[in-house]
Structure 1
Amino acid sequence: MNPQEKFIQLLRELFQFESADLEFGIYRIMNHKRQIIEQWITEDLSKAISEELNSGSLFAQRKAHEELAAAKEDVLRTLGEDAINAEGILENQYHATPVGRKYLEAFANATNTNSSQVLETTIYNHLYTFFSRYWQDGDFISKRRYSRKERYAIPYNGEEVTLYWANQDQYYVKTGEYFTDYSWRAHNGVTIDFKIQEADVEQNNVKGEKRFFLPVPDDTFWNEETYTLIIPFEYRPLKKDEVSTYGNKNQQNKINEATIQMIPIRFENNLEALEALKGEKYRDASGNSISNLEHHIRQYTARNSRDYFIHKDLRGFLLRELDFYLKNEVLNLDELEVAGEDLSEGWFQMMRLIKRIGSKIVDFLAQIEDVQKMLWEKRKFVTETQYCILVGAIGEDHYYNIAKCDAQWDEWKQLFCIDEEQTNIFTIDKSKEENRVALMKANPTLVLDTKYFSEDFVDTILGSVEDLTDLLDGVLVHGDNFAAISLLSATYAKAVDFVYSDPPYNTGNNDFVYKDSYRHSSWLAMMNSRLTAVKPLLSDKAVLFFSIDDEEAARLALLLSQHFSDDSFLAWIAYERSGSSGLGQGGAIVNTKEHILSYCMDKSHLNDVMYERPIEIDVLRRYNKRLVNQGEREVVSSFTAPSTGEQVSVYKHDGDIIHTISLRDFERRQDEILAEYSEHFDSVFRLTSIQRENSFQHEILSRCGDGLYSADYLVSRGRYAGQRITTFYYNRQIFVWLRDSARLEDNKILKLNKITDQWPHAEIPKADLANEGGVTLSRGKKPEQLLSRLIHWGSDKSSIVLDFFLGSGTTTAVAAKLGRKYIGIDCESYFREKPLRRMKRVLYGEQSGISKQSEWKGGGAFKYIQLESYEDALSNINFDIETGQQALNLFKDEYLLHYMLNWETRKSETLLNVEKLQSPFSYKLRIYRDGETREQTVDLPETFNYLIGLTVQSRRAYFDEERRYLVYRGVTRENRKMVVIWRETLGWVKGNYERDATFVQNQNMLEDADEILVNNDSYIHGARSLDPIFKEAMFKGVTG
């Protein structure tokens, strides 16, 4: 393979030519342009290089070599084969001959120059060397070159400590959406599920980072009831015997080939399964017909082994690196000095050529990367919006319609064990609907999910709500957390007081999908972008907690230190997640803890955090006095407190009575003694000396003598800041009340203990953790007691609580039980089965976790939304081929390299096709869910509300005959009252717009509005079109 062919092969790899049969992501986009890119790579670039070699100093070098070759041929023909030796030197005796003189002149002119072939080879080799440095398995890795000795450089701005990772200037874009489960439905109705199961990644595995998808044939399973074939995979390094089987190259392809042969054999007696697997519906990159199984195995393994990152500025990075490469690798000063001034221009011309060709390739690659970056950064559409509301908050006149919805009742039976079949003397003669209505009246905390009901019914229910802001306690978002936070940022800017984050721990057990050899940098890239996105949501008093284990704790701490100041660091808490019994073998240290890294924007807003447990007898013994009667008091001294400027009055008491509690024979008299403590709890105290550094208390003490004294003063800081209190002193010691550090409950004394940064297992009981909320999670589920402690510490009743790795839903469950507003975000496929179902149980009033101690009886409401994914966005890119071809013919390379993708995809629905806002209730995207892609209507109004930061107070539907109007009223971040009106306007003429304006006016839709927005055009007085606002808000801050 010559250098040109080698370079073209690299370009084919960079432009993903080997992936022509892949139907997802950027490959789908590239397939549309494969023919144009093929021509540009194989013809246009080569032509440009050839043209450059035929001009300037490089042409002169070529010509000198051609003249030398012609002169040599004349010498050999005229003077014989021995006239020139092997080194090209003319024998001395021929120097004076005419052909000899001509040869010597040509030889001198060609010295230190290169032939056309050498020049072409040099250029192609340099281009190959440069671009191959940064490309690795489908991703550009930002390895900044420095020198041949110290190979890499990192950006550094003089900080005392800096953190850098390989993918710092890239987005991590894998969500795991297709990793754990990949489903597809065959033409005969059979569903095939590829599922990842945990593998032993230690024993007998070959050392190394590279992992592969290997089937587990013995665990394949046919479910006759659901018509589903389950094929499990392990994702792990190869074992030694497998290396022998699959070799050292193209292992995954070989594994796939074996899988394609192996799996159908397991089902050779099952005709339905066999037909689903072996049916031929697809073609490979060469156009050959292939089976369903082969196609989907390739899609699945390819999808999860490449495209982990998107570069934030690929063009800038590669051009800077190209400039460095030219100066350090192409420009050779020693050879340049030997060549002399006359030939130096050739060197510079070759550098300019490499830069020009390299820059063209960079521009093309960057155009593709920038499209992906734009799709990643753009705000995503809300594809579904539903509400969960208690039936008790819905008018009883709607109960009969609810009673007719069997799907809702099936869920209630499953979630809440509602028994509608039970009969008694009051129900035996009633219809099913009548019994259901009675059950709803008797169970007002049943949770209605609007997904089970028609659009008209939902419009009616929501339209009856006076203020949705008061009704809704929270929102759950199913989607990538980067996309979700970006979408919510306008609505919740500087509004979130509390953040809890329990990210994947990156243990290597498939809890986090990472690029081989970039496990930790993949994780850091993921966390960094989420932290950057969430910061605009934080209020000035926000508190943040991050749970993590040993695997990434140190790196996370360094990353957080880059996002938050040292002053905001709160504590590094060690949380004991389990006891050590039964764990560990030999000399291994048993790891029983996790870490909670905490930060606070303003520590003055933190609450005192205490935990309770029955008081220990040794502690109780110290509180052995009680004040029976404080007697009469009179002022004996006063002074001005320096911290408050307020007067402090010191009193002497007469006639006081202080009783000493007898603790003699405690074991025998325990009940009697504890009864005394309980009866006189508020008057029990102990005496202690005042600390030397407490100058204020020593000033008071200096004015006291023997006996009982007290002082009244205003507290300047701490627990009682701003309050006027009385402190007692006896014989120059200060009273410490038992009631200040304990409380009485059911005649038991519970001691309040200061929380430290060590949280032992005993402080946070989780004996029933598996059953909390009625959901399970294989790993990572946190006890409600833990979140209760954190939320009490860092928030109050007015706070909004955010968890952007929601998991099983513990954070939102506890937030609801403690009366906080909440936002929960998760992208996992179990969203509906775990956090959503859990929150429905919470609203119903389930009694696990902290329910009893928080006196939770149920109540509230929340909204949940589904977001368009990044993969959905890629799948909804469409091309305007006709105008694109016209532009290509007109502008050639300039269009191809810089504008082609942006121009031809501009009307794609995922980029908001403004023309289609005329039909806002039928705007559709192709959405992948549950193993198949189907068209789905997206929720434009809900998307728009979030984009502009509208706090929605009401949502009402109006009808002008068959035409539906959806009207939102709310408040903007600037506290302006806004009305947003949506209606179908496709095909309207002047008369329609006039009727529209009259209808809006007659329905009083615009009452008290400071601002009116409406889709498309209108004659409505004072209204603006929301169309350009929608487009601008969707791409605010987006580059590329």
Structure 2
Amino acid sequence: MQRLELTWIGKGNDPKIEPRILLHDASKDYGDPAADNMLIHGDNLLALKALEQEFTGRIKCVYIDPPYNTGSAFEHYDDNLEHSTWLSLIKPRLEILRSLLSRDGSIWISIDDDEQAYLKVLCDEVFQRSNYIAAIVWQKRTSPDMRGTISDAHDYLLVYAKDAETFKNSRNKLPLSEEQANNYSNPDNDPRGPWTSADFTAQGYRPNQMYTIITPGGASYSPPEGKCWKNIEPVYKEQLEQGRFWFGVDGRAMPRRKTYLSEHDGVVPWTWWSNKEVGHNQEAKKEILAIFGASNVFDTPKPERLIERVLTIASNPGDLVLDSFLGSGTTAAVAHKMRRRWIGIELGDHCYSHCLPRLKAVVDGEQGGISKVVEWKEGGGFKFYELAPTLIVTDGHGQPVISDKYNAEMLVAAIAKLNGFAYAPDSEVFWKHGRSQDNSFIYVTTQYLTAEQLDDIARDLPEYEKLLICSPAFDNGLGKRYANIDVRKIPQSVLSKCEYCVDNYNLNIINPLELDEEEWDDVEQ
């Protein structure tokens, strides 16, 4: 059966991404050494591929704010190729992000009108249309942009789940706002505290819900025409005994059922998020100015309250949150303050100039943004990682060789990952460098492998275990010497697994500036 899908120039020519290892730079770690939060510097497609083996199915919430496609970003292309290039940038990232999501996980994508429609159809394909949750409208401005024909007042948050039904059962409701809580009062001094009341009628006719109610003041009510009471009479009488009905000050009004503030389990999220509730562009700029000053401003931040709303709905304390377009570090900062674990990826110098100092400040107890609302003090920490260089390069004779930037430990880890093994050197068995889920092991050596050495290993290898040995050279015939041992040559055995020597899959797409000069003047005052 043919399915509906979005087609563009270059679709299907997806890159074979090298699953590189991550190099821990302990000199940039900060805070609690036991913390497992990760700040990663590197191309985000390569970094996502690096995470795939360990984190598939473990991420509860992904929030990304990818580059918005604009004419200024593609001034050398015609419109058709412009959209195609942008979609080719996003698709492979979405596919890996989907694999990283847990079954109850969700992805939230900030996007504007330039690509929202295209992105929606693409996400229907990647995540399946049945897992589409909502297109949330965020009111990003406080006043119209006078330069526009019709001023754009909003951006979107496209929301998809790994599995819609599982997400529905696990997502959180929102707490009542102060304005909503103020609608509760206690005019009858009910011992259960403040309450609000709701109509006790329902649409339709149900014979067992058609009875007469006599109020405490003696008034008599039957359901209005075309309606019935919301519950059968025994349920009504039980709740009446509990004092859960309001009949007006004189006891003669139409019955209304009470809902108590103390029993309220939250508000179901809806798709309109006003700037009063979750912040706006100018608020985000002020937060960045307060942290970095005017000389180190990030162009397109999001307000912390916006990310707080996302994480409140889609995650709980201790859950893993991922942002692979980290920018100025807002998602990681908010996740940290909300006691979530996090992984943030940023390619550019923003990782050093914005993310790193901002997250250090959060650990130290920075009090901007949502800090006071969530009662953030200080604590936690994170580890810093760089992407390893490409494993295979070309020598002066045009032949593929292992990069001289790899030491023995890095080589073992990289070859293990390329072959689908988790790097886990055994402290007692020297030839067990990693293992896979099917009780197979890998041994990577930079030395020539002899038949005698292989025989020694085979004597210690149980028949029910399998072993892959990777070596630059070995005696003839070793590949078939034992049924449960596979001997392969490096680098030849991994050449076809992916493309090497690609360090940047970024197309240098830039976001448009969100504030004009007049708005900047308002922010700085």
SS in 2 for 1:509: helix
1:379 maps to a residue whose letter is: E
Is 1:523 equivalent to 2:86 in the alignment? yes
Q: Deviation at 1:165?
A: 1.8
Consecutive unaligned residues of structure 1, counting only runs of 5 or more, are 1-156, 172-375, 394-470, 629-681, 711-726, 743-751, 881-903, 911-922, 926-935, 959-964
Counterpart CA distance in 2 for 1:951 and 1:772 is 43
Which SS does the other structure have where 1:570 is aligned? strand
Quote how far apart the aligned CAs of 1:544 are: 1.0
Q: Which has the larger radius of gyration?
A: 1
Give aligned pairs, total: 443
The secondary structure found in structure 2 opposite 1:163 is coil
Counting only pairs closer than 5 Å after superposition, residues 603-752 of structure 1 correspond to structure 2 as 603-610=167-174, 612-615=176-179, 619-620=183-184, 623-628=186-191, 682-692=192-202, 698-705=230-237, 708-710=240-242, 728-729=244-245, 733-741=256-264
Partner of 1:597: 158
User: 2:18 matched to which residue of 1?
Assistant: 379
The whole-number CA distance in structure 2 between the counterparts of 1:547 and 1:559 is 14
SS of 2:309's partner is: helix
Is 2:500 the counterpart of 1:939?
A: no
Alignment counterpart, residue 793 of structure 1, candidates 310, 313, 322: 313
C-alpha separation between the residues in 1 aligned to 2:426 and 2:358?
A: 27
Give deviations 1:86-110, integer Å, cap 9, x for gaps: xxxxxxxxxxxxxxxxxxxxxxxxx
Q: 1:467-482, aligned counterparts within 5 Å?
A: 471-482=34-45
1:569 Cα deviation after fit: 1.2
Letter matched to residue 25 of structure 2? Q
For 2:258, the aligned partner's letter is F
Would you tell me which structure has more helix in proportion to its own residues?
1
CA separation in 2, counterparts of 1:877 and 1:836? 34
Change (3 A) 1:735 1:948: farther
Q: Which residue of 2 aligns with 1:816?
A: 336
Distance 1:519 1:627, change over 3 A: same
3-state SS, counterpart of residue 626 of structure 1: coil
1:952 positional shift: 7.0
Q: Does 1:924 align with 2:405?
A: yes
Using the alignment, how far apart are the partners of 1:792 and 1:706 within structure 2? 36
2:359 match: secondary structure: helix
Structure 2 counterpart of 1:859, one-letter code? G
1:909 corresponds to 2:429: no
Does 1:588 pair with 2:102?
Answer: no
What's the offset of the Cα at 1:520? 1.4
Query: Which residue does the alignment assign to 1:930?
Result: none
Equivalent-residue separation in structure 2 for 1:379 and 1:762 (angstroms): 44
State the alpha-carbon separation in 2 of the partners of residues 954 and 625 from structure 1: 70
**8 A contact 1:969–1:977 mirrored in 2:** no
Q: Name the residue aligned to 1:579.
A: 142
Contact 1:491 1:946 in 2 (8 A): no
| TM-score of the aligned structures, taking structure 2 as reference length | 0.69
Secondary structure at the aligned position of 1:831 is classed as helix
Equivalent of residue 549 in structure 1, options 85, 97, 112 = 112
Amino acid at match of 1:598: V
Partner of 1:803: 323
Structure 2 gaps, min length 5? 210-228, 248-254, 475-483, 501-525
**Using the alignment, how far apart are the partners of 2:426 and 2:315 within structure 1?**
30
1:859-938 counterparts in 2 under 5 A? Answer: 859-868=380-389, 876-878=393-395, 880=397, 905=399, 907-909=400-402, 923-924=404-405
Asked if 1:503 is matched to 2:73, the reply is no
Cα distance in 2 for partners of 1:472, 1:831 equals 19
Give RMSD over aligned pairs. 4.6
Counterpart secondary structure, 2:351: coil
Cα distance in 2 for partners of 1:827, 1:513 equals 23
1:526 Cα deviation from its structure 2 partner = 1.2
1:770-803 per-position Cα deviation (integer Å, ceiling 9, x unaligned): 2466485532211222112112211233532222
Inter-partner Cα distance in structure 2 for 1:702 and 1:1031: 78
Paired position in structure 1 for 2:481: none
1:770 to 284, 288, 295: 288
In the TM superposition, what are the counterparts of 1:2-21 in structure 2 within 5 Å?
none
Structure 1 residues 341-352: aligned runs within 5 Å: none
Q: Distance in 2 between matches of 1:846 and 1:539?
A: 31
Q: How much has 1:558 moved relative to structure 2?
A: 1.8
Identity of aligned residues (%): 23
What does residue 164 of structure 1 align with? 7
1:374-395: CA deviations, max 9, x gaps? xx514154474313545664xx
The CA deviation at 1:516 is 5.0
SS in 2 for 1:822: strand
Structure 2: distance between partners of 1:592 and 1:987: 66
Give the TM-score, by structure 1 length. 0.37
Q: Which has the higher contact order (CA 8 A, sep 6+)?
A: 2
Partner of 2:56, secondary structure, is coil
Matched-pair contact (CA < 8 Å) for 2:55–2:100: yes
Q: Work out whether residues 477 and 825 of structure 1, in 8 Å CA contact, stay in contact via their aligned partners in 2.
A: yes
Are 1:804 and 1:825, in contact at CA under 8 Å, matched by a contact in 2? yes
Q: Are residues 1:486 and 2:125 paired?
A: no
Corresponding position of 1:560:
123
Matched-pair contact (CA < 8 Å) for 2:415–2:444 = no
SS of residue matched to 1:862: strand
Partner of 2:352: 832
Paired letter, 1:610: L
